[in-house]
Every structure is written in C-alpha cells, then in structure tokens.
Chains A and B, each alone.
Chain A
Amino acid sequence: MAQALLTVDRLYKSFGGVTATDNVDLEVIPGEIHAIIGPNGAGKTTLVTLLSGELRPDAGSVRFDGRAITALPAHARARLGIARSFQITSLMLDMTALDNVALAVQARSGHSFRFWADARRDRDLAEAAMAGLEAVGLADRAGQTARALSHGEHRLLEIAMALSTKPRLLLLDEPMAGMGVEEAQRMIGFLAGLKGEKSMLLVEHDMDAVFALADRITVLVNGRVIASGPPEAIRRDDAVRRAYLGDEAVADGGGAG
C-alpha cells in the first residue's frame, strides 16, 4: 500500500460530555476517494472540522504527508494543501464568483501583503480564476455576485474555490447537499473526473454518489468507526446494514440512500 497522505490516529473530541468523535482511525491514500458515511449526528462534519483545523481534538493526532499537523490552525493546513468545502455554503456572498475564486488563487501565490497593484487587473490571477470557474462550468457566471447564484451553483463555486488553492487533499462535506437529481449527477461526474488526480475525503449522504465514487468507505456511528473497507465489503457488512443502511436496505440488498 502506498504511503498514506492523511493519517488520523485515535482522534477524540467531545462537547460537554457528548462524544462527537470517538477514537477515530483513518487513512487517505494518495489519489483515492475515501468516503465517510453515517447517520445524522454520527459526527461526520465534526470529523471534517477536526481535519481542516477549525476545531482542535481533545486527544489523538493528525498527520498530513508525514507531518504532524494536529496543532496547526485551519489557514496553515490550507497552505499545506488541505482544502475543504462546507456543508452549508460558505462564500463571500457580496463578491463576484470570479473574485471568490481569484481569492483562492491568490491564497496559493505567495503572501498578499501587496498594497499597490490592482488585483483585478492581475492577468495571472484572473486567468487562473477563470480557469477554475470553467472547470466547474460557471464561466458564464463570473461577473455575478455569489449571492445571485443558485444553490447548485453555490456548491460548484465551493468546489472551484477549493480546487483553485491547488490542494493535495480535498475535504468535501456533503457537496451534493440540497442539490436536485440532475445537479447531483453533474457533481458526481465532475468528482469522478478528478478521481486519481486528487485525494479526497468525501462526506456524503447520497449513497448513489458514495458507491459510484469511493475507493474506500468508512462508516461512522455515534462518532465511532464501525466499519471501513472497499465499497463491496461495506455493502455486505451486516453491522453497517443494521446500523445505517436500515432494515429496508438489508432486505433489498442496499444501495439507494
């Protein structure tokens, strides 16, 4: 097995006695899509937040590319190449779609203590930002404020921003949340296109998406890993089917979420 890009070791987090992340072990191998599934309240978003650095764990460690990053804040982890999307859209709503992506491009092109030259006339920034929008099919929305975009477009813009930081690991927190069937299919196609190129940790409710995309699946219940393995093994796992996919899934062989 290749050297893991991300290694999570006995990560633990509780909020006032409620354990959200209970000794989670996890690995993301370069180029793979590792999906995290689990019922509501399983601690999926908490886990993403611990990995992105917005929350500090109570115990355990996170290593990225062989380096201990447990103590690093979110912005430092982002600089190392960990990008995330948010379950609830998180954008600069008053800025244009292009400016949103341009800021992501700017973030990875050195420091921004540059006070004089007009950033919007910086050809390198503008071209890379436009390419970022094109990649997700939002090029024609470049000049609109993010606020004016639809929900599905917001999700795509989130992905464009995350990708524009040229990350080595993408943490995707329910990228399909609230999307229509068609939009979700588009997103699945897009993420499938990135497969092998980008390592991803994908938190998702949509089981079609998870089984279509994931190389490996980890199942969280009450903050604990109850199973981890390739999709077929997870599909067959009785504990998973009982705890998560439900009796109906057990009856018809699982699949639909």
Chain B
Amino acid sequence: MQRDMLSPLDWKPKTWAMVVGLALLALLPGYVAFTEDTFYLDLASRLMILGIAAVSLNLILGHGGMISFGHAAYLGIGAYSVGIPAYYEIHDGFIQIPIAVACSALFALITGAICLRTKGVYFIMITMAFTQMVFFAFVSIEEYGGDDGLVIELRSEFAGLFDIEGATGLYYFIFASLLATLYLVHRITRSRFGMVIEGARGNERRMHAIGYDTYRYRLVCYVIAGAICGFAGALLGNFTNFISPEMMDWTASGELIFMVVLGGTGTLFGPILGAAAFVLLEEWLSAITIYWHFLFGALLILVVLFWRGGLNGLIDWIGRAAWRKRS
C-alpha cells in the first residue's frame, strides 16, 4: 500500500529515468547558451507543450476511458485566447491565461455534457464533430485571419514578475508548467475523484450499482482535462507567435491520441514520453522522407499489437530486466 519514495536509493529504475529526463530538460538552456544553437531549445519547448496537452488527454482517455478525438480544440481555444487579446493590444498574461482556461473549461462543459451521453464510437465521432465546428468557426472569422491565421506580435506579459519574451524565459515557463501539470494530474488520479474515474472506466454498471452518478464525475474530469489543455494552447500560441485554425485540425487531435497511446495510456509519464517520441521522430523522419507519417502509422500498429504498455511499459520492462541481472 505504501508507495513512499523513501530515498533515491529505493527508487524504481523508471523513477530514476524520469528524474534524469526532467533534470536534462532543466539543464538544456545551459547547453544551448554554451553552443548558441537554439534548435534543441525550440524542439524541447514544443515537446513539453504537446506533453502537457497529452497528459491532459490521458486524464480522460487513459484514466477515464473517454476516447476523445477532439482534444486539439483546446489547443486552439487556448492559443486564440492569447492571440485575440494580443490583436487588441492586450498582452497581460494574467488576463489571457485565465481566458484560455475558462473558455476551454466552458467549451468542455457544454460539449462534454452532450458527448458524455454517448458511448464508444459515437463518443469519438461527436467529440471530433465539435472540434471541427470550432475549426470551421475560426476559418470563417476573417477578422482574425481566417484560415491564414494571425501573428502574435508580443508574448504574454506577467506584470514584470517573469519574462517569457525570450526563448529561455519561455522555456522555463513551459518547463515549470509541465512540472505543475504532472503534479496536479498525479494528485488527481490518486484522489477519491481519480478512483471514481478509474472505476467508471473499469465497470460503469458496477459503479452505478454502488451509488456513483458516473456521468457527473466524468463530466468534471472532461472539464479539468479541457482546462489543462487550454492552458497548453496558451503556451503554444506564445511559443509559435502565431495562431491558425490548423492547430485544431482533426489530425492534430489524432496526433495527441498517438502520443498518449505510444507513450502508455493511464500512466503519469507515458504521455510525455509519447510527445517526446512524436516530436523527435517527426523531426528526424521528416528530414529523411516526406512519407514520415507512414512510419508513424507502422510504429503505432506495432505498439498497439505487441506492446500495449507503450514507451512507459518499455522502460518498466528494461528496468525490471536490469534489476534481475543485478540481483
């Protein structure tokens, strides 16, 4: 029952791997300052933003069993919540980010209230349909660039408390956001609420029979996931300095699912690993061939058929193998 991490000596290999990984992310700007090559800083920033989005999707998909094919809507809503105020010269992050989170939560509440009345493939299709509606809504709003999008001239400002205009400042802001998201989701999934969500994925009928109105719990979970992803969207808008409806194209939603499944559904670090794999593979494979999506597909098929635990499970497996060899 007790899962205390007593001291680093008692950590599982995976915990070690994750701590080392996060430490490398924390130290990356130092390396970049040394080499003056910002390529990896950008790559890691994007990786972490998509990682936050994937962690939020995993909360509903992995833990809650709600397979949303429309999660990119929140990336878009979050990004436009930065871009539209910026268009009107409102650059205050303390206004933009609450707007991003609140609009995403509201969108999740309204659409979730409808989507969650359906199950299985209907749920998948209806989440996708709602996201397509937002997509086309923004395509049609000429004022904000239509499908050409909108350039964000200035990044969010935080009353001089911290500055994300520079790449390093933004990087650490994203990094801190990632840590905060991981901690938040870690707490939620282990809480009473998280147990109910997990139980409802496992057997909804049984949960009803012991007295849970699973619909309400799922809806709240759906709203939390939307809000977190909306926040990731605000980061994405700041990172790219540009917003366009393409951010919430249905393929973007599919990519988020890809990250979660590749990384390992229902695990804490899996979605981050999946996002990392996605961003790195995209970078390397697209340099080799224009058919890199084909290789993604093949990889996903292999994971689904042979390695359900995803990358997270792979690290567990390597850890156990190493452990056995040692003892």
Contact = CB atoms under 8 A, between A and B. Distances in A.
A119 B191 contact: yes
Given A91-B203, A103-B199, A106-B196, A116 B187 contact: yes
Interface string B44-59: 0000000000000000
28 contacts: A75-B208, A75-B211, A75-B214, A78-B211, A83-B209, A86-B206, A90-B205, A94-B202, A99-B199, A103-B199, A103-B207, A106-B195, A106-B196, A107-B210, A107-B212, A108-B211, A112-B192, A112-B195, A112-B196, A112-B217, A113-B193, A118-B187, A118-B190, A119-B192, A119-B194, A119-B195, A122-B192, A126-B1
A103 B2 CA distance: 18
Given A93-B203, A106-B195, 20 more contacts: A54-B208, A74-B208, A75-B212, A75-B214, A84-B209, A90-B205, A91-B203, A94-B202, A103-B196, A103-B212, A106-B192, A114-B192, A114-B193, A115-B194, A117-B192, A118-B187, A120-B1, A121-B1, A122-B192, A161-B210
Interface in B165-223: 187-188, 190-196, 198-199, 202-203, 205-214, 217, 220
A242 interface: no
A162 B209 CA distance: 8
A121 B194 CA distance: 13
Given A116-B191, A118-B191, A75 B196 contact: no
Interface in B1-43: 1-2
A113 to B, nearest CB: 6
Contacts of B208: 54, 73-75, 78
Nearest to B266: A94
Contacts of B211: 75, 78-79, 107-108, 165
Nearest to A98: B1
B235 to A, nearest CB: 23
Contacts of B214: 75
Interface residues of B, number: 27
B190 A83 contact: no
Interface in A128-179: 143, 161-162, 164-165
Interface string A50-85: 001010000000000000000001111011000110
A52 B211 CA distance: 11
Most buried by B among A54, A78, A99, A125: A78
Contacts of A113: 193, 217, 220
A146 to B, nearest CB: 9
A207 interface: no
A92 interface: yes
Tier of interface size on chain A: 35 or more
Q: Would you list the 5 A-B pairs with minimal beta carbon distance, nearest first?
A: A92-B202, A78-B211, A107-B211, A74-B208, A114-B192
A113 B213 CA distance: 12
A220 interface: no
Contacts of A29: none
A165 B207 CA distance: 11
Contacts of A107: 210-212
A79 B198 CA distance: 20
A104 interface: yes
Interface in B204-262: 205-214, 217, 220
A78 B208 CA distance: 8
A76 to B, nearest CB: 8
A92 B212 contact: no
A234 B217 CA distance: 46
A48 to B, nearest CB: 11
Given A107-B211, A112-B212, A116-B187, A92 B206 contact: yes
Contacts of B212: 75, 103, 107, 112
A256 interface: no
Contacts of A122: 192
Given A93-B202, A95-B202, A112-B196, A165 B191 contact: no
Contacts of B205: 54, 86, 90
A80 B205 CA distance: 17
